[in-house]
Structure 1
C-alpha cells in the first residue's frame, strides 16, 4: 500500500469520526468540513483513483490535480474558520475571508482552463502563449494557502496558553505545527517557481519530494491535532466517572441520614459529569444539615483522636471530618439538632474545584475504610451515654 493511500485512509477515518458533530455548532461544522475536504483532496492522489478519474474525464483534462487543489483551498478556508471560532469567537474579517475564497476559487478555475500545461504534470510551468496561466494558477493557489496557513498558525499557537487541559494544549500545538508546515509548503512552491523563472532551470524531482513530504506531514499533524481535544474530553469523562464512583459510598451514608437533600430531578446514567456535579452538591448539603447535630468540640476531639491513633499528617483533616460526620449521622437518627452551640467547620469550604473533589474523595475513603472512624464513634457514643446518665445517678445517691 502506497503512502497517498495510507494518508487518505487515515484522513477518511478521522473525517467520518468527526462528521456527526457537523450539526452541533459552527466550530464543529467547520472542523468536520475541513477534514472531509482534506480527505477528499488526498483521495485524488491515490493512483487508482487518479487513473479512474483520468479514464472517465480524459487524461488531457487533468481533472484530479484541479479537484485536489480546489479541495485543498476549501479545506484551508474551513480550517481558518475553525481556528477563529476557537480562538476568536467574536470573529475576524469574515467578509474579507469570504471574498478571498470566492475570488481564489474563481481565478483558479479560469487560469487552469486557460493554461497550456507541459507533460510533466500540473505543477510544471507551461510553454508558448499559455505559459503565463500556469504561473498565475499556481500563484493564486499558493498565495491563498500560504496566507491562510500563516494566519492559522498564529492563531493556533497563540491559543495554546488559553487551553485548560494538557491534551487541549497539545492538540492546538499539533494544529499549529500542521499549519506551519502548510506555510512552508506554500513557500517552497514559490521558491521553485522563482528559480525556474529566473534561471530557466527546473528541479521537478526535488520539488515533488518536498511538496509531498511537507503536504503529508502537515495533513497528518492537523489530523492528530484534531483528535487530541476530543480525547481530552474522553479523559475528563473517565476521570469524572472514577470520582463519582469514589464519592458514592459517602453520598449513600449521608443522604440516608438526611434524605431531603436529594434533588428530585433524574439524570440519565450516561451524563456522568452532571451526575458528579449533583453528587457533590448533595454531599455538601448533607454535611451542612448534619453539622447541626454536633458541636465543634466533637470535631476537635476527632482531630486529637486521629493524631493519637498515628494517622498520617496529610490524612488527619479528612479523617477528623469523617469522624464527626459519622457521629452526626448516628445522632440524626435519635437526637434533635443542637441549638446555641458552635458547629464544626466544613473542610470543603474555600477550595477550588480540583481541591474540592480531592478533599471529598479523601473524606469518602476515610469514612468507609478507616478503622479510626468506627472507634471514635463508639467513644463518642459512650461519652454521650455517660453524660446522659450522670444526673440520674446523682439523683439516686441523694435519695
Structure 2
C-alpha cells in the first residue's frame, strides 16, 4: 500500500465521520466540506485511481492533476470559512474571499486548457509552445493556496489561547501547523519556479519529493486537528455523564424527601448535559428546601465531628453539609420546618460552574460516608433536635 493510499484512506475516514454534521450549522458544514474536498483531492494521487481517470479521460488530457488542484483550492476556501466561523464569528472579508475563489477557479480552468501538453503531462515551465499558460496556471493555484494558508495559520494559532479545553487548544494548534505547512508548500513551489526562470536549472525530483512531503504532512495535520475539537465535545459529554452518574444517588435521596422540586418536563436520556444541568438545579432547590429542617447549631456540630474524624480542612464543610442534608432527609417527611432558628449555609452559593460541580461531588461522596451516617445516628443530628425545637417553640 502506497503512502498516498494511506493518506487518502485516513482522510476519507475523517470525512465520512464528519459528513452527517453537514446540516447542523455553517461551521460544521464548512468543516465537513473541507474534509470531503481534501479526501477527494488526495484520492487522485492514488496510482490506481489516477490510472482509471486517465484511461477514461484520455492520456493526453491528464485530468487528475487538474481535479486535484481544483479540489485543493475548494478545500482551502472551506477551511478558511471554518476557522473564521470559529475564531471570528462576526465574519472576515467575506466579499473578498468570494471574489478570490470566484476568480481562481475559472482562471485555473482556462490556463489549464490553454497549456501545451505532452504525453507525460503538463510541459515544464519555459519549454515548448504556450509555455506561459502552465506558469500562469501554477501561479494562480499557488497564490490562492499560499494566501489562504497564511491567513488560516494566523487565525488558528491566534485562536489557541481562546480555546477553553486542552483538546481544543491541541486541535487548533495542529490546524495551525497544517496550514503553516501548506504555506511552506506554496512557498517552495514559487521558489523552484523562480530558480528555473532565473537560472534555467530545474530540480524535478527534489521538487516533487518536497512537494509531496509538505502536502501530505499538511493535510494529515489538518485532518487530525479537525478531529480534536469534536473529540473535545465527546470528552465533555463523557465527563458530564460521569458527573451525572455520581450525583444521581444524592439527587434521589434529596428529591425523595421534597419531591415537589422535581421538574415535570421529561428529558430524553441522550441529552446528558441538559440532564446534568437539571439534576444540579433540582439538588440545589432540594437543599434550599431541606435546610429549613435543621439549625446552624447542628451544622457547626457536624463540622466539629468531621474534624475529629480526621477530615481534611478542605473537606470539612462538604462533610458538614452532607450531614445536615442526611439529617434533614430523615426528619422532613414527619416534621414541620423549624421556626425561629438560623439555618445552615449552602455551599454552592457564589461559585462558578466548575467549582459548583466539584462541591456537589464532594457532598455526594460525603453523604454516603460512614462518618456522616454515624453522625446522623449518634443523637447529634437534627432529627432529635427537631423534637426539642418543636416542644420549645411549637409547630
**Is TM (by shorter chain) over 0.5?**
yes
Alignment match, 2:33: 33
Question: Residues 85 and 91 of structure 2 are in contact (CA less than 8 Å); yes or no, is this contact kept in structure 1?
Answer: yes
CA RMSD of the aligned region, Å? 1.7
Q: Structure 2 unaligned segments of length 5 or more: list them.
A: none
Deviation at 1:343, TM superposition (A): 0.6
* 1:342 aligns to 2:342 (yes or no): yes
Change (3 A) 1:136 1:297: same
Counterpart Cα distance in 2 of 1:2 and 1:139:
29
Counterpart Cα distance in 1 of 2:57 and 2:387:
99
State the Cα deviation string for residues 25-83 of structure 1 (Å, max 9, x = none).
Answer: 11111111111111110011110111111111111101000110001011101111111
State the Cα deviation string for residues 203-255 of structure 1 (Å, max 9, x = none).
Answer: 00000010000000000000000100111111111111111111011111100
Alignment match, 1:243: 243
Indicate the SS of the match to 1:212: helix
Question: Residues 84 and 155 of structure 2 are in contact (CA less than 8 Å); yes or no, is this contact kept in structure 1?
Answer: yes
* 1:261 aligns to 2:266 (yes or no): no
Counterpart Cα distance in 1 of 2:20 and 2:174:
23
Alignment match, 1:394: none
Counterpart Cα distance in 1 of 2:188 and 2:332:
76
Indicate the SS of the match to 1:263: coil
Counterpart Cα distance in 1 of 2:390 and 2:175:
73
Counterpart Cα distance in 2 of 1:175 and 1:268:
35
Alignment match, 1:71: 71
State the Cα deviation string for residues 177-228 of structure 1 (Å, max 9, x = none).
Answer: 0000000000000000000000111100000010000000000000000100
* 1:292 aligns to 2:292 (yes or no): yes
Counterpart Cα distance in 1 of 2:266 and 2:186:
55
State the Cα deviation string for residues 146-175 of structure 1 (Å, max 9, x = none).
Answer: 000000000111111111110001000000
Alignment match, 2:127: 127
Counterpart Cα distance in 2 of 1:161 and 1:297:
47
State the Cα deviation string for residues 296-339 of structure 1 (Å, max 9, x = none).
Answer: 11111110111122223232111111111111112212211112
Question: Residues 290 and 332 of structure 1 are in contact (CA less than 8 Å); yes or no, is this contact kept in structure 2?
Answer: yes
* 1:201 aligns to 2:201 (yes or no): yes
Counterpart Cα distance in 1 of 2:184 and 2:218:
9
Change (3 A) 1:77 1:59: same
Deviation at 1:122, TM superposition (A): 3.6
Question: Residues 115 and 126 of structure 1 are in contact (CA less than 8 Å); yes or no, is this contact kept in structure 2?
Answer: no
TM-score scaled by length of structure 1? 0.94
Alignment of 1:49-198 (within 5 A): 49-117=49-117, 121-122=121-122, 124-198=124-198
Q: Structure 1 unaligned segments of length 5 or more: list them.
A: 392-399
Question: Residues 41 and 69 of structure 1 are in contact (CA less than 8 Å); yes or no, is this contact kept in structure 2?
Answer: yes
Deviation larger for 176-185 or 108-117: 108-117
Change (3 A) 1:380 1:334: farther
Alignment match, 1:319: 319
* 1:309 aligns to 2:309 (yes or no): yes
Question: Residues 327 and 380 of structure 1 are in contact (CA less than 8 Å); yes or no, is this contact kept in structure 2?
Answer: no
* 1:273 aligns to 2:278 (yes or no): no
Alignment match, 1:395: none
Change (3 A) 1:386 1:71: closer
Change (3 A) 1:279 1:123: farther
State the Cα deviation string for residues 255-310 of structure 1 (Å, max 9, x = none).
Answer: 01000000001111111111111100000000000011111111111101111222
Counterpart Cα distance in 2 of 1:228 and 1:355:
25
Indicate the SS of the match to 2:89: coil
State the Cα deviation string for residues 362-393 of structure 1 (Å, max 9, x = none).
Answer: 111111123333333432358538848999xx
Alignment match, 1:354: 354
Question: Residues 116 and 127 of structure 1 are in contact (CA less than 8 Å); yes or no, is this contact kept in structure 2?
Answer: no
Question: Residues 15 and 32 of structure 1 are in contact (CA less than 8 Å); yes or no, is this contact kept in structure 2?
Answer: yes
